[in-house]
Structure 1
Amino acid sequence: MVAHNAPGAGQSYPPQHWLRRKDPETVLAAGAAQQALTYSRIKNEHLFDLLGDVAGARLLDFGCGAGFFAVEAAKRGAALAMGLDALPEAVAAAALLARRQGVDGRTAFFAADQPVFSPRARFSAICLRDVIEHVADDLGLLRSLTQHLAPDGRLVLATQNSWSLNFVLEGGWRRLVLGQRDWLGWDPTHRRFYSPRALARLLRRAGLTPYAWRSAYILPHKLPLPPGSDRAFWRIESLAALDRPLGRRFPLNRLGWSLMVGATR
């Protein structure tokens, strides 16, 4: 989750969004519901798979949201799991989650919308989960973070994929039929989508070399329900579960709505 009110970012989340609630308990409850979805669980599995063993690592989760990924890294043995997010409400919830999970001694959370470290600070693992599609200067952010990546470290990111089936189907409908030419997915704070080729070029310009790919939401499984229904969507969890095996295999590991890549310096 990205810090959506970062300078140059797209439209900010409204005050009623769950990440902007003042009560950390409310933020954690909403975040836990998101993390419990099959899609979210498999997505996190793919990201940790790209990172490899994080035991003893110094990990940075940039745009950490309510801290679920950073706390999980600490539970997996990271020596330090640091989370940055521009929303103070998210940071407060992340700190509460770390205390409850008993890893507050190996986690640290800060409200910041850009890297705020000593020039000599280095991390062996950096995660950007759904971040770069929101910021104005994606290359500048990646170059800044690359400077803080240890020589043998790994950077993993997840972003939105213009090659995905859902982008072709729903995006085509919205753009060509409904006339929503600027449609960029379900989140109004998105600035852009990426193709795997464009993302690889961006990483190389930032001084990084991609080494592996993963994807999720390969088959659309979040289907809208008719007006008047008691919920907005019907999720077909059995289709979501296919992201676990399919999201590792070429070429499907480059064709999901969520595109994930690991890179090194």
Structure 2
Amino acid sequence: MTHDGTPPLPPPPPLSDQWALFLDVDGTLAAFADQPDGVSVASPVVDRLDELSRMLDGALALVSGRRIETLDALFAPHRFAAAGLHGLQRRRAGEEPPPPAAPPAALEAIKAQAAALLRERYPDALLEDKGEAIALHWRLMPEAAADLQAFAMQALTRLPDYHLQPGDHVVELRPARGDKGEAIAAFLDELPFLGRRPVFVGDDLTDEHGFEVVNARGGISVLVGDRAGSAAEHRLPGIDAVYAWLGAGA
């Protein structure tokens, strides 16, 4: 039994060439770093994903909070099908990323205010500018969490059609449209994903929408780590277990 008295989740079944495989990145394929641009993915893992994509006839996609342009740099030279910004961006394998949407004027003012707050009070926290979204990270300064969350809540009152996306030592202000589940559903409605059993592997709160969509379609949802309250029906204990399951040497 787990610490909350529920039965432990089983590991996912072995890989199948009949699947449509969706993979989160940070916390799933890449270890967290002190700063987002410090993350990397080992070459053997990248090459194994390319092998799996070919085994699945292209039915493999990255589903991340990062921009697709950043994913292409992380997984170069391969350009996998991808959903970025938690589903705000989506593109098929090999295509160019969609052009970024223009952020509202209020968001630009909020970015400047957030930068000033961090500079004056929380120099080890980080503002990540994603264009139409921003993320406030406090991994290196956990004492900033409450104030940065409060700042984001107040900023949200000035951004119609935006919402807060909490994560691991981060809160993000992003447009309310789209999420990882909607992105996965859109992929499943088109080739090469159409007609395949969906499988989604992720670790964070942002992945829950994806787990719900995959479960509703008779797929396999896989939580990385031991976070409580997840909709996932399978579990892998950490990134090394994900690599082993994928058959990727790190």
TM-score strictly above 0.5: no
TM-score (norm 1): 0.30
